[in-house]
Structure 1
């Protein structure tokens, strides 16, 4: 059963979505690209037989490499990355 309280907040969401600035769109697209790059790095590490750069298979090295991949992905995305954020931003700006 749908609660009437949960439906009252819906009209407030739409005006906020329309107020998003191009800067916020670029920021969200850059964060999305960072997540995508991070997942690509994680998949590459997990599919290899050995660890990255001589790291072993223990939990400590897995955690350290996971953090390193995350920060590398964020830095890569902030520097332009693969161009995905730029394409997303351009596509969303055309729609608005």
Structure 2
């Protein structure tokens, strides 16, 4: 994965063609938090993973934004995953 960490952007990665969007997002969240994916709180409690995969793999341009375990997450249909610390004042993923 092509990760990038910096104070302004937070954590940026991309969804590759070999995994579903939800699998890539879980891996990216685990990388951003520095933990094993199995140690994360259940993502399905926050967002419907099947619906998210359908939206992100469908035709057209779309994005999904949600808060998860102290993080603001933005996933775009072009494969970009942006994660920022939700505890920072005014922190919100941006493109």
Scaled to the shorter chain, the TM-score interval is under 0.3
Q: Whose Rg is larger? A: 1
Indicate the structure with greater helix content. Answer: 1
Instruction: Give the TM-score taking structure 2 as reference length.
Output: 0.27
Indicate the structure with greater strand content. Answer: 2
Structure number with higher relative contact order (C-alpha < 8 Å, ≥ 6 residues apart): 1
Instruction: Give the TM-score taking structure 1 as reference length.
Output: 0.26
